A and B are shown apart, each in its own frame.
Chain A
């Protein structure tokens, strides 16, 4: 999650001429949000909440893996991946937000009925539609489950058209696991391999302990016909990709979702560049073969 930062300002405003103020609906600059209401807030973990907002009339609808810019007046704006599928509800949109800086702190402090600014959706999506006929391996690390959740929801609706379906999910501790009731429900789904691991267990944790890549040997899939969606910390994605490729999953069937500093979300402010790619507009979801030359270069 990116916090808006304040830095270079080479002098005063050069904004000359007069200004005309118009209503935002028609000719707004692409960086102008609309406001909508929070309809539900649910605490997920000690530092993470899921916030459902009313879908604004002008909001065009989204696909799994895309993100919105959420705005709190007087505080700032941050990119947040969309945690719900339109196939669950067309009227509300979920965002799962970890409290890390001023804007995310203000967002998670919102309550039902409060207003929040939104613009979006932005970016590329998980190619759920092209998963038909494939084995599907979804690998999530930490908050990386949030943008994968709508993909899982839609994959489950497509279940009969898929081969094997697996979700591997790793969190730091059992207390950091998101969507716990939903995970419990997914465990009951037949023919859905759901494996969960934590980096550090607790006394009442009887599950797997270790990094998420150690779960890969525990699932069955046919590498050559597998499509994989991966989201999590970059180090985890590197290892997960390496493991899948070494098992023979073709690199163009592995999709990763990347994060960089995002401020405009329309490929313009320049912060999110990774080599020639704007993460906001060309990504955040990339086929691995496309992004590999840049993904592997440190500090690019």
Chain B
């Protein structure tokens, strides 16, 4: 399959079940809501070593937030519910509670309730105040800039992590430009995050390593500098490969994000140095969710 001179490999991305939650951070202005959100979603590119994958879903206008202030929706994904709850609480406590003028609210009303500010309230040392408003429990925690307002719980739901596609280009700048275009388009899709830096990962991995202590190592088949010394998956003109990884609440959300992302890359086309789109998988043996590139773009 070819779109605008870009070849879509007959392959699929392989994704896994995860647990996910969403939180809404508000602040005096968008600048400080974003600072808090960036802190909360920092060091959360991959569950391999970060404990979770997190990202900013989108900016919220004041009429979309519970307290009528500018806000940011963040999503956190983890392999299990216990780990997700721990990551959420730690990050909320260290990154949002500490952030000037911030408030923190649930972003998912259904699912299984997990603590958001339920335990952070103890920071109030007995001066914290509970308010049950409209069936929801809030905590008002006195802090040095006034009060930290937080909802007690947010919802945890089943989700999908690890959707992906690879952009194969004639040069590094062209690969990056295509990925930037894809990320710009994919950020308009709700219910998904692209957890890597700027949404793009340049160090895609394969399972296993020659070193026994490592369970993942560089994906040498897609490393352009190794074309002559390993079993490569790259043709001679490919000089750079970059990957976009997607976590989403549902399989359909990820498919939609992949669709708009791949389309944005293909819109640049061969004229912009884009030669192929591929995807990462493990032979279909590990993850139950398969996203076939050609089916998605059909």
B partners with A: no
- Which chain A residues have a beta carbon within 8 Å of chain B's beta carbons? none
